[in-house]
Amino acid sequence: MASKKSTSRWFIVLSLAFLLYASSFVSSASNTSVIYWDMNMELDDVNNYEGVRLVVFFLPTCPSCIDELIVLEQVDANYNLTIFMLDVYKQATNERIIDFKNNHSLSDDWIIGYSTSETNTFFDLYSVPTLVILDDLGSVVALIEGQASYSFLETKILDAINHNTDNYNTEYNEDPSNQITAIFIIVGVGITAVVTYFLVKTLVKR
């Protein structure tokens, strides 16, 4: 009897540990990492910030990128979100992004930096400006190539705020780890079933 009780306790401990790990795995799988070099030339991730996030990939010499700043300022004034301005060509120093911020009097609340080559590849960036909107869970709501009007951006931001997932971009939210996640869930259910069996058997014998 003692050995069976001990075995059931071990199964309980192991299953709880597994389920905790699986839950964290599933939640992190929904996030889209957008890694960038910040103003201090240190790596950071857009997902380290809360709420709706608007990431703008740009070049300082791009006229359309500069024209888009007016729309971004209007969006920033009307909605509670974090705006990231990421130069797609990383330089050895932060001088270029500092000059861009100062020359255009950008808000101190905006995050200015350089996108990484991995981020550029992930979003298949070949034109600027390109805007990416993420909701508060890190899911990609929209990817917009070229200049965007205020009304169009507003529509996508409201989708993010209200979690209108039917309107989300599906390409970047199709996580290849979904199959692995499903396997974890199946194994978890199996372990839970075994634990339940041992518990019921122990109680019946009492």
* Cβ burial, residue 59 (10 Å; 0-12/13-18/19+): middle
And the tokens for 25?
A: 């795995």
Q: Which of 18-22, 182-186, 200-204 has the highest mean pLDDT?
A: 200-204
**Residue 168 · residue 139 · CB < 8 Å:** yes
Position 148 pLDDT exceeds 60: yes
**Residue 45 · residue 34 · CB < 8 Å:** yes
- 174-183 pLDDT, tens digit per residue, is 644 444 444 4
**Residue 130 · residue 120 · CB < 8 Å:** no
Position 194 pLDDT exceeds 50: yes
Query: What is the value of pTM for the model shown?
Result: 0.72
Neighbours of 81 (CB within 10 A): 19
Cα–Cα distance for residue pair 137/151, rounded to 1 Å = 23
pLDDT on residue 33: 87
Q: What is the Cα 97 distance to its own chain's centre?
A: 23
- 117-127 pLDDT, tens digit per residue, is 999 999 999 99
Neighbours of 183 (CB within 10 A): 11
Using pLDDT thresholds of 50, 70 and 90, give the confidence band for residue 172: confident
